[in-house]
Structure 1
Amino acid sequence: MENKWFTISVYSENNVGLLNRISGIFLKRHINIESLNVSKSEIEHVSKFTIVVFTTEDWTRKIVAQIEKQIEVIKAFYHTDEETIYQESAIFKIESHLLFDERQIQNIIKESHAQIVTVSREFFVLAKTGRREEIDEMYQHLKPYGIMQFVRSGRITVTKSPMRISAILEEFQNN
């Protein structure tokens, strides 16, 4: 089996220590978590972990089975990139003079559909939302001009097909 990108969605109660136990499952198997996001889900009092890994489907299936054994976990799923709609966000901090002195910077902003968040005398901040490749491309274009700071969010995702989780979560909430 070949390595591919998988997004693991974990629906759980919001309890202290769960993230540590979930990350331990990956650590034991020497699988790197490429992206991690935790937020509330569509059901009140239920959290959603979105974890991105680059591994085989067999390993992903085993990891999801181990995650589901955690008491607080209601249900876990995994999906390929083709089965989901996903986005990431990034923020770039650049020296202000470049915005005016380097015409190409303005072209990069326009072509990448980035937004200027703030401008001060010393720096300006760009925000970019998109797929990982789009953010990587913008990073490579800006890198020669000097990036003062850069940060990228974890992936957020929804599935293209309906998820069975809604019925499970509603049943959980009613109990």
Structure 2
Amino acid sequence: MNEEIKTFTFSIYTENNIGLLNRISAIFQRRHINIESLTTSQSEIEGVNRFVIVVDITETQAKKIIGQFQKQVEVIRAYYHRDDETIYQESCMFKIKSDLLFDEPQIQNIIKESNARIVTVNKEFFVLEKSGRRFEIEELRQELNKFGIMQFVRSGRIAVTKEEMKVTEMLSAFNNQ
């Protein structure tokens, strides 16, 4: 019986070492799994980083990948979660010609209805910022594409779990070694 492919978000707590990103991405590459999104940042504990990686795989594959992460010396702890177990967002920015802001009343309506916010305006361009689910960002991108987008960039997913991961105490103990 074939297992269903689902979207999983991995949270990997690590030391901040050179080359770790290459080793983590190699785990996916060896299995021919495409990374949909990857974000890394400081975690809630000083000196501990957190990778948030989104992939579309089966749960059996997710369990095997967690085992591979745990074998990396710098990995303190790794988890995987389904979308319904997390609260997540992405952010994006659009750079658009300034004259459109004043000459196209529809642009102002799009900005208002999408809950985007204007970050900066000058004579040549203005910059919009939008946070939300990927489909919301894609809807806004499609709307703005009709008018011309000078530049577009979207972040990877950032996520927290709905349930407590009980990782803070463990990471605090790690940090105090």
TM range (shorter): over 0.9
TM (norm. structure 2) is: 0.96
Question: Greater shift after overlay, 133-142 or 55-64?
Answer: 55-64
**Per-residue Cα deviation, 1:128-172 (whole angstroms, up to 9, x for no partner):** 011111111111111111111000011111111111212221221
1:145 corresponds to: 147
Deviation at 1:173, TM superposition (A): 1.6
1:99 corresponds to: 101
1:33 corresponds to: 35
Aligned equivalents of 1:53 and 1:27: distance in 2?
Answer: 12
How high is the sequence identity, in percent, across the aligned residues?
Answer: 64
2:53 corresponds to: 51
Show the 5 A alignment for 1:153-164.
153-164=155-166
Show the 5 A alignment for 1:4-83.
4-83=6-85
Deviation at 1:174, TM superposition (A): 2.4
Aligned equivalents of 1:136 and 1:93: distance in 2?
Answer: 15
Report the residue type matching 2:118 in the other structure. I
Aligned equivalents of 1:77 and 1:156: distance in 2?
Answer: 14
Aligned equivalents of 2:35 and 2:105: distance in 1?
Answer: 38
Aligned equivalents of 2:64 and 2:170: distance in 1?
Answer: 21
Report the residue type matching 2:68 in the other structure. Q
Aligned equivalents of 1:20 and 1:66: distance in 2?
Answer: 14
Q: 4+ runs of 1 displaced by more than 6 Å? A: none
SS in 2 for 1:145: coil
Matched pairs, number:
175
Aligned equivalents of 1:65 and 1:98: distance in 2?
Answer: 52
Report the residue type matching 1:122 in the other structure. E
Aligned equivalents of 2:124 and 2:6: distance in 1?
Answer: 42
Q: 1:109 aligns with which of 108, 111, 121?
A: 111
Aligned equivalents of 1:108 and 1:138: distance in 2?
Answer: 8
Aligned equivalents of 1:122 and 1:170: distance in 2?
Answer: 49
SS in 1 for 2:44: coil
Q: Which sections of structure 2, spanning at least 5 residues, go unmatched?
A: none
Deviation at 1:105, TM superposition (A): 0.7
Deviation at 1:107, TM superposition (A): 0.8
Report the residue type matching 1:142 in the other structure. L
**Per-residue Cα deviation, 1:38-63 (whole angstroms, up to 9, x for no partner):** 11111111100000111111111111
